[in-house]
Amino acid sequence: MSKKSKNAIAAPTVLKPFNKQDKSIIQVVIETPKGCRNKYKFDPALRSFKLNRVLPDGMVFPYDFGFVPSTLADDGDPIDVLLLMDAPAFPGCLIESRLIGVIEGEQTEDGETERNDRLVAVAKHNHTHSDLKDISELNQALLKELGEFFVNYHKQDGSKFKVLGTKGPKEAAPLHANSIKKGTAA
């Protein structure tokens, strides 16, 4: 057993990014549950989840939010995932999911702009969203609200987030694959 394998439970960032038997199923580690004001983040150095910030009264995460392990996005963190499922999970929960699209975004902080896309996925085991195959099938008002959430979320820490658009699973899959390549190269 490799050192990475032994540490997988205490270090979810080194878990596999997809299901070995079905590569269309991605693994998502939840950092922040739906309905939570507290934003949690996994700290690899501490090998623990820690409180990153608290959202203002009335602002909560609209869905579970997490990352795909063993990936690296353009912002230097594992690639983000907004996960649609029936009920909130908990920080550290590993959920098999199906990619349905991406909310493409740009984040500007301290005069520097970088891509900060959010994959959108549906939990493999759920009822409410089980029929969704493509982000375009989501209610357009809800999709707009999700974009506004990220705009307002980033405004809280003084950065700026701009939604560039939404795309389906065919466009999201290469983003996921590239983040895996970057994650294994790091």
d(CA 18, CA 71): 11
Confidence of residue 184 (pLDDT cuts 50, 70, 90): confident
Element (H, E) at 154: helix 140-155
Contact 66, 125 (CB under 8 A): no
pTM here is 0.90
The tens digit of pLDDT for each residue in 89-118 reads 999 999 999 999 999 999 999 999 999 999
The tens digit of pLDDT for each residue in 42-87 reads 998 888 999 999 999 999 999 999 999 999 998 889 999 999 999 9
Task: List the chain domain ranges.
Answer: 3-185
CATH hierarchy code of domain 3-185: 3.90.80.10
pLDDT of residue 7: 52
Contact 116, 106 (CB under 8 A): yes
> From residue 30, how far is each of 41, 82, 102, 114, 164 by CA, in Å?
9, 9, 17, 23, 25
